[in-house]
Amino acid sequence: MAKPEKNQTENNAVGTNGRQEAADGFDMKFIGIITLKLFLICTITASLLAGVNALTADRIAENLELEKTNAIAAIFPNADENQKLETLPEGVAGLYLVLSDGDLLGYAAEVTPLGFGGDMNIMVGVNADGTVAGIKIVSHSETPGLGNRVEDADYLSQYTGKSGPLTLGDRIDAITGSTVSSKAVLDGVNTALDAYSSIFTENDVIAGGAE
């Protein structure tokens, strides 16, 4: 009578093992399917993002160039021509001779000083006599209500007509609570003013005019 019980136990064990193996096989198959789906989703998403970036990169670059052109026009409202220079002094991202009817008004320097929220893109206009003609902040990531106040026209106007080197607290005021942002603008202006002596005075571009 004991043998049938033993066989029944063995059969139950075999059945349990079989079900476990089937369950394990199902789990592995399920995991494989999920993994494949996730891989396909990530691949498709990455491809779409790359495509969007490729389509918008040129437009973004064009808009940035337009903003720079508009900034120069705002600083030199009487200008009718800008000539981009290839030779750039240290710290200057772009340099433009600014003319009106062929006469040199000055130059505009694109500078990118480090602010509180990252690099700032600033266009600084310098007159032919080496004084600041005006400043326009093209882009920045400064804190709203604090650091971003450095782009206010009233604040930037304190630089107009001054020559370097400039320091905070001496002819130039900082915005309360935004010393880093104020210092970034100051650094950018001083970099632009340095370009006057390092590029224009040494090569007599300002004195001799543009050809």
DSSP state of 145: T
Q: Where do we find the tokens 């003319």?
A: 99
CA dihedral for 155, 159, 164, 170, sign (positive or negative): negative
Does residue 6 or residue 132 have the better pLDDT? 132
Question: Any idea where the domains of the chain sit in the sequence?
Answer: 1-75, 78-208
Please give the pLDDT value at position 167: 93
DSSP state of 175: P
- Is 16 a residue whose pLDDT tops 70? no
**Mean pLDDT across 137-150:** 86
3-state secondary structure of 160: coil
Kindly state the tokens that stand for 140: 């920045």
Report, in angstroms and rounded to the nearest whole number, the Rg of the chain calculated over CA atoms. 33
Q: Model confidence at 209, in pLDDT bands (50, 70, 90)?
A: very low
- pLDDT, one tens digit per residue, over 81-120 is 888 888 888 899 999 999 999 888 999 999 999 999 899 9
**Mean pLDDT across 125-150:** 89
* Nearest CA among 149, 136, 153, 159 for reference residue 180: 149
Please give the pLDDT value at position 126: 94
The type of residue at 181 is S
Kindly state the tokens that stand for 136: 């326009």
Q: Model confidence at 14, in pLDDT bands (50, 70, 90)?
A: very low
